[in-house]
Each structure stands twice: as C-alpha cells, then as structure tokens.
Structure 1
Amino acid sequence: MRKISQKQSGFTLIEAIMVMTITAVLAAGVAIFLRKPIDGYMDLTRRTELSDIADTAVRRISRDLHLALPNSVRSAQPECVEFMPTIDGGRYRTDVDASGGGKVFTTSDTISAIDVIGTLRTVPVNGDRIVIYNLGIAGADAYSGVNVATVTAAGSTTSLVNFNSTQFPFASPGNRFHILSVSEPAVSYVCTGLGMDAAGNGTGTLYRYSAYVASGTEPGACPVIPLGTPVLAQNLSACRFTYASGVTERSGLVSLRLGITKSNETVSLYQDVHVNNVP
C-alpha cells in the first residue's frame, strides 16, 4: 500500500516572535509621529474650554452692568464689584395734561404717584422701588434710600406708578426715573480663593451674589458669600475689577480682568464695560 504523507504548514515560534517584534517597532514609530498632533489637539481643546468659560462670565457681567442704576456701581476691593440692577425706567410728567389733571412730579411736597410719559414694559409689583436722580452722593444716594420710594400698586396700565408718600430731594433734569426689583435689589460679583494648586490649576471661584439688601454706606470689604450662591466660573488664578466713575461726564468705566488656569495653562481675558451714569 502506498503511504500518502501530508505536510502541515504554520508559523513557528520564532516567526511569531519576529512578527510581534516588528509590529512593536512599527507601533512605537507611529506613536512618536502621532504624539505631537494628539498633544496639540488636547491643548487646543483645553484652551477652547477655558476661553469659553472666561467669555461666558465676562458677557454675563457686562450684560448686568449695562442695566445698572446710574451712579450705583461701587467696588470695595479689587476682587468684587457691586451695583443696583434696574428692571425698567422712563420719564415722568412735570405738568398737568390738557384737562388740567394728571399725576405731576414735584419736590416741593410729598407725592404718591407719577404718570409715565409713554408706557413701561411691565407693570411694577408691590415692593419694587422707584429711584429719581441718583447721583451716588450724600443726599442723592439710592443705597441710603433718600431718593427712593417703594411701589405699593400700579395702575391698570403701565402708564401710572403708585408708591408710598415720599418727598424726593431732587428732580431729574431729564425727568427720568428708574425701577429696581424687589426680588433683586442689589448684585455683587465676587471672586474668592484666588491662587494655584500643586497640579497647576486655578483655585478661585467667581460668584454672582444677589437677592440681598445692600449696605447704606460702601463696605470696606467684599461680601461673605453664603452657601448656595450661583457659581459663574471656577479655576480662577486672577480676578480684578476696577471702576472709574469720572472717565466721561455721562458714563463710568468698569474694567474686568479674569485669568482661568488648568494644567499650568492660563487664558486671560480683559474687558471694559461702559456704565451709563445719566440720572
């Protein structure tokens, strides 16, 4: 009988080891070439994240400051800024209408209502406050309440505002008034815990503190932030607010500088915000 022999083919152990070695060498070479592009992508992602955080914070602060009551911005320390946000405003009547009636503004006596020239966007609610001719100085400072009246009721339309009987010390040259919300009489942006940790990350936090009653006199330090206060930004390594009230005759200037740091990389953002100081 003839014997039929069949040969079996396959990899030997030596061949398998050689293939694994060659593959490892190729992988190491590819990794060297891919490392820089990957590191560059991670750096770009981190910078984009930091820039977005800083830009969002600056935009929110700028939007709030544009609604600040004229001459109400103040900064106790470089790490904070405080102001009174307005929700509406308009012009009041200074003379009777054609029929001899109307709620006319005067400083010679107490008044409890004013007619609005035009209409307000919304009807003020009980507890809102009306401010007239705020100069931010003694005798005309909304923080002390001398030129402020509390809204008691509004008319059926947005053309009449009722408030507790008040004798305002001054009239506005432009016949203007502003309205402050009862739910948010003052707002502070406060930076706390500024610095760097061992990993190269910023340790500071930026808060938006609101719904509190501000002090009648400018405090000497930033307010203490209570638990539950909304956080606007974290990982801050630098934060500075500067307010110049006399930059121009009609407006002040708030300068804001933020530095946000992660993994020893910092994104710095600087913004100037013009504040309308025409009362």
Structure 2
Amino acid sequence: MKQRMRKKSPGFSLIELIVVIVILGVLATAISSFIKFATQIYSETTARDQLVSSARFAIERLNRDIRNALPNSLRLTNSEQCLEFTPIIESTIYTDIPVAPEVAKNKISVIRFDKTFKSTWSVIVYPLTPNDVYPVAPSNSDKVHAVASIDETGDEWVITLVAEVLFSEDSPTQRLYFINESETVEYCLQNNSLLRNGILMAEDIYNTSPFEILAATLQRNAMVQMHFRFEKNNETVTFNNEIQVLNVP
C-alpha cells in the first residue's frame, strides 16, 4: 500500500502577518480619530449650547427686572461689579400731595389701582438721582415716605403717611410710585458667576466691568448696557445687550 501523501495546510507568511497588522493599525487609528473628533465636536457643541442657554436666561431675567425698575434708582456698587436698583410695586397718578411752600400734612390723594396695600410700602415722587432713592439717612429724604394706611373708597383713594411730610417738588406727569425700601435687587459678578441677590443666575463669565449705566436725556430714557463673555471648554460666547428703562419720573 502506498502511503498517501498528506497535504500540508498553507499558513501565513511573516510578510502577510505584518501587512495585516499594519492595515489593522491604520484602521484603528482612523476609527479612533473619527471617534475623537466626533466626541470633541459633541463636547464643544454641548458647551456652546450651555453657554448660550445660560446667557439667554440671565439676560432675559435682567431685562424683566430692569424694565420694572424705579426711574433713576439704578446704580453701580462694589467697584462697578454690581448693579443695584429698586423694583416698582405699583404706580398711579396722584391728584394732591403737599409740595413746598404748602403746609406739611400726612394725607395724599391718588387714583385707585389694583394691588392690595401692605404695611411695608413707601411712596416716592419724582426721583431724579439714586440719592433720592437711597438717602444717607431716611430722615433726610424729601421724596420717599412710609405709608400707614390707604382708604380704598371710590375712584380716588386717600393715602395716610406715617408722618406729616412736604415733598420737594411735583412730578411733571403727577406720577407716584410704591416701593419697599428694604427690598432692592442686586446683580453681581463674583468669581466668574452672576448672582441675583446671592442666587446663582449664570456661570463661566470671564470679564470685568459687566454693567454700564447711561443716564436719561431729553431724547431718551436711561439705558443699561451689559457686557458678558462666557467661556467653557475652549468655547467663547460674547453678549452685549442694551436695556432701556421704560419708566419715567
């Protein structure tokens, strides 16, 4: 019997193995680069979206607050890193207030309004500067006066003040505002974060002098300019916004 010749199974040569390894290495590099760039694009897009969303939220809240600010109550504090102002609770038209050289009294008459009176309210007429709103001593103010009660009878209501007063001057539009002297709003840029009365509104802000106040003129109302530069994961978004203070004294 003839022994059958066994066929040897063909194997891989060293060159073939090296070629396969090189090809696999190239493919792995290409795939890893693709995954890396895709991940980087996703990360950058997410960071940019977060910055834009954070900025829009903060600026929209600022817009709402400033549009309800008492005229000429806006001021910069803390080395111009903070913007402070007094919000308006309610406003109305007055029909009678004591103005020099009249006799001082503790009652004034106004047109009726909607909100319910609270004991923390004060009235203010014709504020022209922040010093009228934030006097060094409350007793020095001739424009801000605490309210004791309101007689809500008929279309013309009578406001009784805590003390007899004499306003320094009339408002050209006879406008009277109600405020709470102890409740001011303050936006501050601290440690790259924007805070509203200590509550976090936005993060990752890397610039100084975020606020600028343009005083009112005969042609326009007061303006507040905001400058914010948001930075995160090598992404930068800059917001320059201008808000008009709609209320007039």
TM category, shorter: 0.7 to 0.9
SS in 2 for 1:272: strand
For the residues of structure 2 that align with 1:183 and 1:74, how far apart are their CA atoms? Answer: 16
How far apart are 1:134 and its partner, in Å?
0.8
The match for 1:134 is: 127
> Does residue 76 of structure 2 align to residue 106 of structure 1?
no
How far apart are 1:169 and its partner, in Å?
1.2
Matches within 5 A, 1:215-234: 229-234=198-203
Point out which structure has higher relative CO (alpha carbons under 8 A, 6+ apart). 2
How far apart are 1:60 and its partner, in Å?
1.2
For the residues of structure 1 that align with 2:152 and 2:93, how far apart are their CA atoms? Answer: 18
Q: In structure 1, which of residues 203, 206, 210 is the aligned counterpart of residue 194 of structure 2?
A: 206
The match for 1:177 is: 176
Please tell me the residue identity of whatever aligns with 2:44: D
Cα separation, partners in 2 of 1:137 and 1:51, compared to 1, 3 Å = closer
Matches within 5 A, 1:20-99: 26-76=27-77, 77-93=79-95
Please tell me the residue identity of whatever aligns with 2:118: V
The match for 2:109 is: 115
Matches within 5 A, 1:250-265: 250-265=220-235
- Asked whether the 8 Å contact 1:190–1:208 carries over to 2, the reply is yes
- Asked whether the 8 Å contact 2:75–2:130 carries over to 1, the reply is no
For the residues of structure 1 that align with 2:156 and 2:206, how far apart are their CA atoms? Answer: 49
The match for 2:12 is: none
SS in 2 for 1:89: strand
List runs of 5+ in structure 1 lacking aligned partners: 1-16, 94-103, 194-203, 210-228
SS in 2 for 1:237: coil
Please tell me the residue identity of whatever aligns with 2:89: I
> Does residue 148 of structure 2 align to residue 152 of structure 1?
yes
**Coordinate RMSD, CA, aligned:** 2.8
For the residues of structure 2 that align with 1:137 and 1:62, how far apart are their CA atoms? Answer: 20
For the residues of structure 1 that align with 2:180 and 2:190, how far apart are their CA atoms? Answer: 27
The match for 1:143 is: 134
How far apart are 1:35 and its partner, in Å?
3.1
Structure exhibiting the larger radius of gyration computed from Cα positions: 2
Cα separation, partners in 2 of 1:248 and 1:207, compared to 1, 3 Å = farther
List runs of 5+ in structure 2 lacking aligned partners: 1-16, 136-140
For the residues of structure 1 that align with 2:130 and 2:193, how far apart are their CA atoms? Answer: 32
C-alpha distance after superposition, 1:129-154 (max 9, x if no partner):
1101111177xx12223201101123
Please tell me the residue identity of whatever aligns with 2:125: I
Structure showing the higher helix proportion among its residues:
2
- Choose 52-61 or 230-239, whichever is displaced more: 230-239
What count of residue pairs does the alignment treat as equivalent? Answer: 221
SS in 2 for 1:112: strand
The match for 1:163 is: 161
How far apart are 1:245 and its partner, in Å?
0.3
For the residues of structure 2 that align with 1:159 and 1:148, how far apart are their CA atoms? Answer: 21
How far apart are 1:26 and its partner, in Å?
4.3
C-alpha distance after superposition, 1:27-70 (max 9, x if no partner):
54333334323321221111010111111111111211111111
Please tell me the residue identity of whatever aligns with 1:168: F
For the residues of structure 2 that align with 1:110 and 1:84, how far apart are their CA atoms? Answer: 26
For the residues of structure 2 that align with 1:57 and 1:159, how far apart are their CA atoms? Answer: 40
For the residues of structure 2 that align with 1:48 and 1:255, how far apart are their CA atoms? Answer: 23
C-alpha distance after superposition, 1:236-279 (max 9, x if no partner):
21141111104554411111011122123222111001113621
SS in 2 for 1:251: coil
Q: In structure 2, which of residues 184, 189, 193 is the aligned counterpart of residue 191 of structure 1?
A: 189
Q: Return the TM-score normalized by structure 2.
A: 0.77
SS in 1 for 2:31: helix
How far apart are 1:79 and its partner, in Å?
1.6
For the residues of structure 2 that align with 1:111 and 1:89, how far apart are their CA atoms? Answer: 21
Identity %: 27
Q: Return the TM-score normalized by structure 1.
A: 0.70
